[in-house]
Amino acid sequence: MHAGPQMPVRTEDDVRAALMALEDQAPSAENVLRTVRAAGARRGHVLARALRPPRSPHWPWLVITAATAAALAGLTIALLPSGAPSGSPGTRPVRARLVPAMGPPPGRAEPGLPSAAALGKAMLTASSAATSEILYTTQTGGVVRGVITSIDQEWMWPANPVPGQQARWREALSERLSRSKPLLPAEDIGFTYTVPRGNPDSERANEAYGHLTDVCYPVMRGCGLGSMGETPAGAWSQHTGKFINPSAGTGDLSPAGLAKAVAKGQWRVIGRTRMAGQPAIELTETRTGIYRPLPTTLWVNARTHLPIRMNNGTGTMWAQDDWHYLKPTAANMAQLRVPIPPGYREVR
Amino acid sequence: MTFEEFAAARLPAVLKFAAVLTGDRGLAEDVVQEVLIRANARWETIAGLDRPEAYVHKMIVNEYLSWRRRSWRLVLSGAGTDLTGRSVPDPAAGYAERDAIFAELAKLPLRQRAVLVLRYYEGLSDQEIAEVLGCRPGTVRGYASRALAALRVELTGPLLVAPTTAKEER
């Protein structure tokens, strides 16, 4: 229990009362049931949405030191050719075919494989060393019988920003409303902010001042992030203020977050294979993994110790995440800018 | 009990729980929908459990903790999150204090918030919370302690606010 020199001005009853008051935010049961029943009729497609793993925290987990950088001077980071991502949501081809795992059955590691703890530590060091590259990630949100239901592209620069540094993040989401409809741009968000100083594990490290641009495409009924209000379809908005990242401290798909999860024992090293043309170490989730019971596999580059791909789901429904480190060329840096489609009106 | 019977009897309570957990009507709706779609698909198994509602609540907590969208939220520069959409602070002191707690709750890391909701809204013990979150009771107490400290520190005046934070807020 917190004990400081000042008397607390709130009691546990105050917290209890505040939580009770939040019941007023309960949504309509009718709306929820209607959607759930409709999902039953077209179960496959909607279930795929549930396969989406979380992504989000792009916060620094540690500050790279000069010593760490020096120790990693020889680290090879896999770089894509410049200009690899198109930047046009929904148009990027998905390199989704998986290479079958070559490792032994779960629970039996090949001789010579690193322990999860050692691999996690190496992954954390590797992700920390990526100080100048752009981290480009794609999340294929759900593949149902070969049809992609959503693609989420994200750019983060620098890939591992440090406190006090200005960082830029962009997320371009594309959705397919039904199997017969095309995959279309849905929402495009850009956020420029200063990485907060202080203990990265503290609550305040989840807050940042910055400028956010949000473009909402007609696929959506409306867009927006929490209390800043809705941006209607066919419009865009920009906001400057204090933002928070509520996902910090939970499982996340940033390379540093994955490294921590591996080190903590949420993943088990099961073998070596090749993935996306790279030598890879293959991992599967342990009982403490956050995606269970969905079967989830992670591939980490065996040389660079940076994540390559994660796949979760089974059979005809699965989701996939890919990580790439791009050189900060002018063309690649331009991908961090949210394009405003012609004719879209700005709303405030 | 069929899924429809469960929904008719327990859905309002489930929705309230999700609303308290998320603090956001839209997010609560999304989370409950995702969970119920999955629960409906394997309802026979869930219905056979001792406490189906508790299991659904656990699914909701896990869904909330792994929710990937809406990763950034704008917090008003003054009192904080405005859950009701009002642009002007409520003049009544009680409501202002309530809004302040809402804002502080919204700023907590998800697991800390989940622990507070499970402890003070659901009335679960630390052991029960640990089972929901898949961690140790000691970890639960750590989350609760940090969350409570954060809620109190926020209102005990500028002396307890780190200088760097005060600077950042200008």
Q: Which pLDDT tens digit goes with each residue over A217-250?
A: 987 766 765 444 568 889 999 888 777 654 443 3
- Please state the φ and ψ torsions of residue A210, each to the nearest 5 degrees: -170, -175
Q: What pLDDT was estimated at residue A33?
A: 83
CA A302 to chain centre: 22
State whether A189 and B82 contact (CB < 8 Å): no
List the beta strands (DSSP E) in A83-165: 134-144, 147-157
pLDDT in tens, B70-121: 344 434 333 233 333 333 333 455 667 777 788 888 878 788 899 999 999 9
Contact A82, A326 (CB under 8 A): yes
Flag whether residue A348 sits within 8 Å of chain B, measured between CB atoms: no
Rounded to a whole number of angstroms, the distance from the CA of A158 to the nearest CA of chain B is 18
Q: What is the pTM of this model?
A: 0.56
**pLDDT at residue number A93:** 27
Q: How far is A73 from chain B (nearest CA, A)?
A: 32
pLDDT on residue A48: 30
Task: Give the residues of chain A that fall short of pLDDT 50.
Answer: 1-8, 41-109, 203, 226-228, 246-251
- What integer pLDDT is reported at residue B69 of this predicted model? 40
Q: Of A244, A169, A261, A253, give the one whose Cα is nearest residue A203.
A: A244
Pairwise CB contact (< 8 Å): B73 & A35 = no
What Å distances lie between residue B85 and A29, A167, A264, B81, B152, CA to CA? Answer: 22, 29, 40, 9, 25
- Domains of chain B, CATH where assigned: 1-71 (1.10.1740)
Using CA atoms, how far apart are residues A78 and A302, in angstroms rounded to an integer? 11
Distance of CA A235 to the CA centre of its chain: 25
ipTM of the complex: 0.76
Distances (CA, A) of B10 to A261, B16, B54, B60, B136: 35, 10, 11, 14, 29
Read off the pLDDT of residues A87-111 as tens digits, 9 standing for 90 and up: 433 333 222 222 333 334 444 445 6
In this predicted structure, what is the pLDDT of residue A97? 28
Residue A115 pLDDT: 94
What pLDDT does A64 receive?
20
pLDDT at B67: 62
d(C-alpha A12, C-alpha A28), whole Å: 29
Note whether B74 contacts A204, CB cutoff 8 Å.
Answer: no
- List the 76-135 stretch of A: residues with Cβ below 8 A of B: none
The Cα of B44 is separated from the nearest Cα of chain A by a number of Å equal to 15
Per-residue three-class SS string for A329-341? CHHHHHCCCCCCC
Task: Tell me which chain A residues have a C-beta less than 8 angstroms from the C-beta of B95.
Answer: none
For B34, the closest of A25, A50, A191 (CB atoms) is A50
